[in-house]
Amino acid sequence: MKIKTLITAAAAAMMAAAPALADLYIPSLTYRSGPYAANGIPTADGYADYFTLLNERDGGIGGAKVVFEECETGYNTEKGVECYEAVKSKNPLTIHPWSTGITYQLIPKATADGIPIHSVGYGRTSAKNGEVFRWIFNYPANYWDGASHAISHILDQEGGDLNGKKVALVYHNSAFGKEPIRTLEELGKIHGYELTLLPVDHPGQEQKSQWLQIRRERPDYVIMWGWGVMNQVAVQEAVNIRFPMDHFIGIWWSGSENDVRPAGEGANGYKALTFNGLEKDYPIFDDLKKYVHDAGKGAGAGDQVGTVLYMRGLYSALMTAEAIKKAQEIHGTPDVTPAMVRDGYENLDITAATYEALGLPGFGPEIKGSCQNHGGQGLGAVSQWNAAEDRFVMITDYIESNQDVIQPLIDADSKAYAEENGITPGCE
């Protein structure tokens, strides 16, 4: 286990001389090694650096310092559970598993232990139903939202008519990759497209047969639910068979620079969903440079700042910090407990003014939670890789997901979970 305590000696001395506030202990189940490290490292760096910034610039959150801990999982579910068991006795205010498979295993554990889990745009989709999943949050959007966003974009590209069209889903053969299938099937019934399912086994380096099938069957669009090395391989295979990149759309975990750069110019035009901004000049970058990287306190070398996954990790930390702020506000104390932080998550209210004040103007859609809604408004946008500029560019406004399809699925899945686990849905 790797421990990273974000408290300087000077700060510790000051705290010893004054009435002590409890530390805000926040662990993160990261993976800086293994086949998913290329994507796991920048995500983890962004998450850690934001808390470092809050400590160094603001003195923490509400006057209380953040103590941050990383536990290495290698994206392995068993190791993820081991990490959870190792940190839970230290009174974590919230835990980010950074893996859908790990999240599934932690849902009953965290519920029994009273620890909020924030699976940011991943995990069990039906956890959006806070009346059943009281301790689980998946702001700002879930995988069923993402599936709907992809189909909405394809509909827009096709003039609103998908009758007779073919859509292939290339997906990581895991709980993560299987999440969108039900939604895509239901949307197919409505819009008349034929759905082909093409699973890719962990870690995703072998995809020849899947792309030979795509070349043979010639689907009109390919949607990808990939992560780590799987993304790089898929993009290269698409280039190899000359599949049109502007008809290839990845989930938001399949849209980083690491996923497309190895394919060179051939990747130009590839699309991916996103739930946060992709600009390169946010005011917060100056503070990150001054207080974190120039001060030698960065989780990495600082070269990842502004990349897609670094900003995704930073966004996750931002939502966590705002939930803690809200908890402090509700309960009138900086010394919040995990139960108080749950209240903060349920009352999360991130507006355009919030992003502006945090040095991230226009960075994301507004997020408003409640006891019933642990997932926010489910908005997402489409980005596209510009190889000449070496960056993803947002090409749509934020898209609403089809709640007429998604909400009944959430209701049914969460009801089944409640019945299986003896949970009486409701808000306390």
User: How does pLDDT run across 52-111, given as a tens digit for each residue?
Assistant: 999 999 999 999 999 999 999 999 999 999 999 999 999 999 999 999 999 999 999 999
Q: What is the pLDDT of residues 314-358, one digit of tens each?
A: 999 999 999 999 999 999 999 999 999 999 999 999 999 999 999
Other C-beta atoms lying within 10 Å of the C-beta of residue 273: 26
- pTM (2 decimals)? 0.93
- The secondary structure of 83-132 as a DSSP string is HHHHHGGG--S-BB---HHHHHHHHHHHHHHT--EE-TT-S-GGGGBTTT
Cβ 43 vs Cβ 257: under 8 Å: no
pLDDT for position 97: 97
pLDDT for position 12: 36
pLDDT for position 31: 97
- What is the Cα–Cα distance from 292 to 310, expressed in whole angstroms? 14
Other C-beta atoms lying within 10 Å of the C-beta of residue 90: 11
Supply φ then ψ for residue 30, to 5 degrees: -100, 170
Task: Tell me how long the chain is.
Answer: 428
- The parts of the chain modelled with pLDDT lower than 70 are 1-21
Token pair of 223 as six digits: 């949607």
Report DSSP state, residue 280. Answer: S
Supply φ then ψ for residue 22, to 5 degrees: -65, 145
Token pair of 260 as six digits: 């497309």
Q: 272 - beta bridge partners?
A: 250, 383
- Alpha-carbon Rg for the chain, nearest whole angstrom, is 21
Q: Delimit the domains of the chain by residue range.
A: 2-141+278-377+408-420, 143-275+380-404
pLDDT for position 4: 41
pLDDT for position 17: 36
143-275+380-404 matches 2-141+278-377+408-420 in CATH topology: yes
- What is the Cα–Cα distance from 175 to 123, expressed in whole angstroms? 8
Token pair of 424 as six digits: 């009486």
- What is the Cα–Cα distance from 166 to 114, expressed in whole angstroms? 45
pLDDT for position 163: 98
- Classify 143-275+380-404 by CATH class: alpha beta
**Residue 46 region, left (φ>0) first, then alpha (ψ -120 to 50), else beta?**
alpha
- Classify 2-141+278-377+408-420 by CATH class: alpha beta
Report DSSP state, residue 391. Answer: E
Cβ 255 vs Cβ 308: under 8 Å: yes
Supply the angle between the helices 37-58 and 308-331 in degrees, to the nearest 10: 40
